[in-house]
Amino acid sequence: MRHAKRINHLGRTASHREAMLSNMATSLIMHKRISTTLAKAKELRKYVESLVTRCKNDTTHSRRMVFSYLKNKYAVSELFREISQKIQNRPGGYTRILKTGFRQGDNAEMCIIEFVDYNETYTANETKKVTKTRRSRKSAPKAEPAAEAPVAEAKAEEPAAEAPAAE
């Protein structure tokens, strides 16, 4: 019986699946974004997020454990050097899956999987949202003309005061 065996085999043997996920994780770490099928992306998310969580603690043991999964020293150094700095305060959810449509040949559902902190489109929108306040804009322009009006009246009174002195 298959009770509680929820791994998606992706139509591959265990060794092929492990090698494929390792290669895809290496590509994701090096390029920060890859395009793949939705089923592979969902499995890759589980695979990568545990590695990224492990890279928060930069020790020799954690580097060796990540290397045993990735088998690429450049990807391991990229993960510990750059990605760990960006995700240090994030409690989880390091990747995002964006659906892009269907593949032409076999109609497989395609998507883009990327690291959350490396997409400038979404991070730029978040910074704009932070700068806005809940105050209405109507109160700010009213305060400025009121401040300018007494100054204009004071200037108008000065020449009138000077004119009788000149006579």
- C-alpha span between 136 and 142 (Å, rounded): 11
Average the pLDDT over 122-126 and give the result.
64
Positive or negative CA dihedral for 157, 162, 163, 165? positive
Instruction: Tell me what the pLDDT averaged over the chain comes to.
Output: 85
- In CATH terms, is domain 14-122 a member of 3.90.1030.10? yes
Higher pLDDT, 108 or 143: 108
Give per-residue pLDDT as tens, 79-99. 999 999 999 999 999 999 999
Q: Check residue 80 and report its DSSP letter.
A: I
Give per-residue pLDDT as tens, 18-51. 999 999 999 999 999 999 999 999 999 999 999 9
Average the pLDDT over 98-104 and give the result.
96
Is the distance from CB of 109 to CB of 102 less than 8 angstroms? Answer: yes
- Enclosing H/E stretch for 25: helix 14-31
pLDDT, residue 134, reads 72
- C-alpha span between 45 and 113 (Å, rounded): 8
pLDDT, residue 145, reads 52
The domain segmentation of the chain, as residue ranges, is 14-122
Positive or negative CA dihedral for 96, 100, 106, 107? positive
- C-alpha span between 69 and 23 (Å, rounded): 10
Does the global pTM surpass 0.75? no
Phi, psi (degrees; rounded to nearest 5) at 111 = -155, 170
Average the pLDDT over 145-161 and give the result.
55
Does the pLDDT value for residue 16 go beyond 70? yes
Does the pLDDT value for residue 74 go beyond 70? yes
Contacts 24+ apart (CB under 8 A), 34-38: 34/112, 34/113, 34/114, 35/100, 35/110, 35/111, 35/112, 36/110, 36/111, 36/113, 37/103, 37/108, 37/109, 37/110, 37/111, 38/97, 38/99, 38/108, 38/109, 38/110, 38/111
Average the pLDDT over 66-73 and give the result.
96
Residue 21 CB neighbours (<10 A): 20
